[in-house]
Structure 1
Amino acid sequence: MNTDVLIIGAGLVGASTALQLAMRGCHCTVIDKDSPGRHASGSNAGGLRQLNRDPAEIPLTVEAAKMWHDIESLVDSDCDARFPGQLRVAENQYDLDKLEQRAAMVRAMGYQHEEIIDKKELYQLVPALAPHCVGALICRGDGFARPYHALTAFRQKAESLGATFHSNTEAYSIEQEGDGWSVRTSQGTYNSKILVNCAGAWAGELAAKMHKPVPLSPKALMLMVTERLPHFVDPVMGAASRKLSFKQMQNGTLIIGGALVAKLDFAQGTTDIDWQQLAASAKTVTDFFPQLKNVRVVRAWAGIEGFMPDNIPVIGASKSMHNAYHAFGFSAHGLQLSPVIGRILAQLILDGSTELPIEPFNINRFNTEVSQ
C-alpha cells in the first residue's frame, strides 16, 4: 500500500494532521493499532483551555482557540463546543497572589486572555459556589467540547477530502528506504514518502524505532460523571491550590477530573479505577459546592495518555531521520491544541516551516540517543 504521508495514530492530532494535509491535496493514510479515539482522544474531559498553560504553549493555544471558536467552518460540525469561560478559584489571599503573578506573567508576554476577577464578580458568575472564596483567574474564551464528537468530525472531514483511515493496524517495524519509509503492520506493509508519529502513549516506542528514544511515560487519567442535575454552573471550574476540574455538560451531568491517575497495565492496555482517589476528588468538589454532597456518580473511566517529564509535547521534524515528524506527549491537554498542531505539521511537511514558535517542543531537548 502506497501513500504520500503515513500517519501512525488516529486520535485527534493524527486526524487533524490528515485533515490539514488533505485540504492541501496531499494523499495521506492514517493507521491505528486500535480504533480512532480508543484511548486519550475519546476518553478525555473535553477541556478547551488557554488558562494556565505552560508559557511555551501560549502562542499555540491562543491560535488554537481562534480555530475552535470557528470550528464548524473547518470540520462541518460544532463538535458540541461551548465557551462559558474557565476559572481557577482562589480560596485565600495567598492563592489570589499566586494567580495575580500568573496573570502578570501572561500580560508581560503580550497576551490578555488571563485576568483576575474579584470576589463580587466571581459570585456573580458562580452564585452556587461556597462562600469562602476570594477571587479567581479567568479566561473568558475557554470552554469544552465533546471529544468523541470532535474526533469523528475531524476524521469524517479528512475522509471526505481523500484521507484514508485503517483501524486495528499495528505497526511492527519501521524501516527507512532511501528517502521514504516502509512500515510493516498487522494488516500488511505501507510505503510512504513521509512518516508522522502521532501515536499518543505508544509514541515513545515508535520514536525509539526511529533512533530517537524519549522519556515518555504512559499514564491513565481518571474521570467520573454524575447523574443529571438542574443547571447551576456555567464556567469550567478549577482551583488555585487543589486538584479540582469539573464542568456541567449540556445534559446536566458533571464531568469531574483533576489529574487523578488510575492503575495501568500498559502491556495489556487495561486500567483499574482507584476509587479512593475519586472519593477524595468528590470531597474536593463538595468543599466548593456543598449542595452536591448527595449527588450520585454513575460512571468512572480512564484513558491512556503519554506524558513528558516537562508536561509539554514533542512537535516537529525528526532530528535523526529524514522525512519523519513527531507530535505526541500532550500530557492530558491535547484537545485544545489539536487543530493547530495539524496545521503546523502540514506546514512543516509541505512548506518546510511554520509561522508558530515550536522550538520549545524540539525532540532534542531530551538527551537520549541510540546507536544506528
Structure 2
Amino acid sequence: MVMTAAGPDRVDLAVIGGGLIGLSAAVAAARAGLSVTLVEARTCGRHASSASAGGVRSLNRHPAEIALARRALELWRRAPELFGDHCGYAESSQVRVAEDEEAMAGLEARRARSKALGWSHEKLIGRDALYARVPSLAGHCRGALVVEDDGFADPLRSVHAFRRTARSLGVTIRENTPAEAVTAEPGGVVVALAGGAELRARVAVNAAGAWGTGLAAAVGEAVKVRPVALQMTVTEPVRAFVKPVIGTHGRKLSLKQSEHGTVVIGGGFEGRADLATGDSDLDFAGVTQNLANAVRLFPILADARVVRTWCGIEGIAADDLPVLGPSRTVPGLIHAFAFSGHGFALCPLIGEVVADLARGRNHGFDLTPFAVDRFA
C-alpha cells in the first residue's frame, strides 16, 4: 500500500468504528504522524469493547494468534506511557481449570500442541499446585493450564483512556456518524456517511465490529461472521478469594475479582443481537447458567448478590479468528473486525499493525490466517 499525499479535503486515515480496535488504530496512526478521522455509529466503546471480560490472555489462544497475544502483553505493560493511564491493567496470571480427568487430558494435549509450535508460555500444573494457588476452588478440580504473565484490564477505563489519547494526538472523533459504504477513487477511498455526507481518505480501516460484515459485503467480500450479544455479570463486593483470572476447560466461564472485591463473570453466553437497531437483549437462561458455572467452581459465590448484568454486540467468525488485513477488492481499505469475543487483549497491538499496513510498512506478523478471502 503506497502512500499518497493527503489534501485539504482528505485525511490520511479514516477509521470506521470507535471500539478499542478502531481507537487503537487511530492512536497508532496519529502517533506515526498521519492525519486521522474516526467515525462511530453510536458512542465509542458502546458494544463489544464495553461488554468484554477484560482478559489480557495468551492462554489457550488459537495458534495463529499466539504471536500477536504475546506481543500485545508487552504493550499493556506500557499502558501508562502509551495511553496516559494504566487502564486497570494487572498481571495476575490466567488459569484454565480442569474439573475432571477428561478435561485434564484436553489441557495436556493443548500444552503439547503449543510446545510443538515452539511456545513455552503455558505451564501444566497438577491438583496440589492448583489448590496452593487458588485454595478457594471447589474440591473436585484436577489441575490447570497456567500462563504466569497474563492478566486483565478494565474495558471501560481502557475505552476512555484510548479515546482521550486519540483526541490529544489530534484525531477527529465523530460519534453518532454511521458509515454506509467504502469505494475507491484515484489516490484513496471515499467513505459514504449516513445522511449523504462523505469522508475522503488515503486509506480507510473497517473496524466496525459486528457491523464490519456489512461493509465487507458491500465491497464484494462475504465473510462468515454472525452477530452475537455477549453477556457479562458483576456481583457486589465480597471478601477476596481469587487473584488469577479463572477459566475452565469444557465449561463456559471467565471469572476475575477486582481490587474492590466485585466479581466479573462471563464466558461467552449469548443474548440477542439486532444489528439494524443496535439493540441487544439478555438471555436470562444463559445468565443463570453462567452464574451456576461460577458457583460450581467457587461455592463462596452462592450467596453473592448480582449488581448488574449487561451485553454488547460482537461479530463471531466461523473459525473464531478475526478478519484482519487488506481488502482484496478495494485498494486502500483495511479490515480489522470480527475479533470473535477475544480481541480485547490484542487491541493495543492491532492498532500498530493497522498503522503499519496504512503506511506500507512491515508489521512482522503473518496475517494469512486472518485474510478476508479465506471464506471464499
TM-score, normalised with respect to structure 2: 0.95
Counterpart in the other structure of 1:209: 218
**Code of the aligned partner of 1:15:** L
Counterpart in the other structure of 2:183: 175
Counterpart check, 1:38 vs 2:26:
no
- CA distance, structure 2, for counterparts of residue 139 and residue 358 of structure 1: 24
Q: 1:304 aligns with which of 299, 309, 313?
A: 313
- Report if aligned partners of 2:229, 2:281 keep a CA contact under 8 Å in 1: no
Residue 33 of structure 1 deviates from its aligned partner by 0.5
**Moved beyond 4 Å, runs of 4+:** none
Counterpart check, 1:252 vs 2:270:
no
Counterpart in the other structure of 1:237: 246
Counterpart check, 1:51 vs 2:77:
no
Counterpart check, 1:116 vs 2:124:
yes
Structural RMSD (CA): 1.3
- CA distance, structure 2, for counterparts of residue 327 and residue 102 of structure 1: 27
Counterpart in the other structure of 1:370: none
- CA distance, structure 2, for counterparts of residue 240 and residue 176 of structure 1: 46
**Code of the aligned partner of 2:38:** V
Counterpart in the other structure of 1:67: 75
- Report if aligned partners of 1:243, 1:259 keep a CA contact under 8 Å in 2: yes
Question: SS state of the match for residue 196, structure 1?
Answer: strand
Written as runs of structure 1 = structure 2, the 5 A alignment for 1:282-293 is 282-293=291-302
Residue 307 of structure 1 deviates from its aligned partner by 0.9
What runs of 5+ residues in structure 1 fail to find an aligned partner? 368-372
Q: 1:24 aligns with which of 19, 25, 32?
A: 32
Question: SS state of the match for residue 336, structure 1?
Answer: helix
Written as runs of structure 1 = structure 2, the 5 A alignment for 1:1-372 is 1-186=9-194, 188-367=197-376
- Report if aligned partners of 2:51, 2:231 keep a CA contact under 8 Å in 1: no
Counterpart in the other structure of 2:6: none
- CA distance, structure 2, for counterparts of residue 84 and residue 61 of structure 1: 16
Instruction: Pick which of 264-273 and 353-362 moved more.
Output: 264-273
**Code of the aligned partner of 1:217:** R
Question: SS state of the match for residue 267, structure 2?
Answer: strand
What runs of 5+ residues in structure 2 fail to find an aligned partner? 1-8
Residue 229 of structure 1 deviates from its aligned partner by 0.5
- CA distance, structure 2, for counterparts of residue 124 and residue 173 of structure 1: 54
- CA distance, structure 1, for counterparts of residue 116 and residue 283 of structure 2: 41
Residue 158 of structure 1 deviates from its aligned partner by 2.0
- CA distance, structure 2, for counterparts of residue 89 and residue 43 of structure 1: 23
TM-score, normalised with respect to structure 1: 0.96
- CA distance, structure 2, for counterparts of residue 184 and residue 360 of structure 1: 29
**Code of the aligned partner of 1:63:** R
Question: SS state of the match for residue 41, structure 1?
Answer: coil
- Report if aligned partners of 1:59, 1:357 keep a CA contact under 8 Å in 2: no
Aligned length: 367
Tell me the percent identity: 40
- CA distance, structure 2, for counterparts of residue 175 and residue 285 of structure 1: 47
- CA distance, structure 1, for counterparts of residue 136 and residue 182 of structure 2: 55
